Amino acid sequence: MDDGIRLGKCNHYLIRIIDMDVLQNKKLILGSKSPRRSQLLQEAGFAFEIRTQDIEESFDLSTPVLDVAEDLAIRKAYSLKHTLQEEEILLTADSVVILDNIIYNKPENYDEGVKILSALSDRTHTVATGVCLMTNRIIDSFTVVTKITFDKLSLDEIDYYLKTYQPYDKAGAYGIQDWIGWCKVKKIEGSYSNVMGLPVREVYEKIINFSNIK
């Protein structure tokens, strides 16, 4: 990682940027490997450390689809709770893409990417990002929902996108910040950053509230 310094094991990084002191001398920990979440937090003006723990991201199929992302974010937070020190605030998140009450995860291969993007083509789907904030003493979690409407995607466009952008690390097989977002999104209802993986406005306000708790 070019914009951080390695601290001990490979799953600990400190991101150093200008701090606006909204954290009230508390330290923010991002429990995510996502480069997009790191980017969004940096652009929101936060200094933070990355601290991650691999977890099993399966979920009970009886769980309401709009609850899945928040449940996973909470699970990620509890996996890191034992690492928290006094005055540290942990932030974890998870995003899911939903269409017709079905969750579309990261595609495992080209064929699965074609299947997912064909399903999303010319339809409106939901992106739900669940967020969890945790300290040694308190926990808060919430979900933010954004509606995305795609134009029709031809098979040639899907082929071009998958081969050019390789979106195999992205839920729903696409990134809103790349070619699909610029050329094939007809309408966005809600938070744009939420589709990238973090609802920055809501997270900013929640972090400030957490920082003010004595």
Active site residues: 94
3-state secondary structure of 133: strand
Pick from 137, 140, 125: nearest CA to 70: 140
The Cα 104–Cα 13 span in angstroms is 30
The Cα 52–Cα 54 span in angstroms is 7
The whole-angstrom distance between residue 209's C-alpha and the CA centroid of its chain comes to 21
Is residue 118 within 8 Å of 172, Cβ to Cβ?
no
The Cα 33–Cα 45 span in angstroms is 19
Angle, nearest 10°, between helix axes 35-43 and 200-211?
Answer: 70
Pick from 1, 168, 139: nearest CA to 73: 139
How many angstroms separate the most distant Cα atoms in the chain?
56
Could you tell me if residue 162 is left (phi over 0), alpha (psi between -120 and 50 degrees) or otherwise beta? alpha
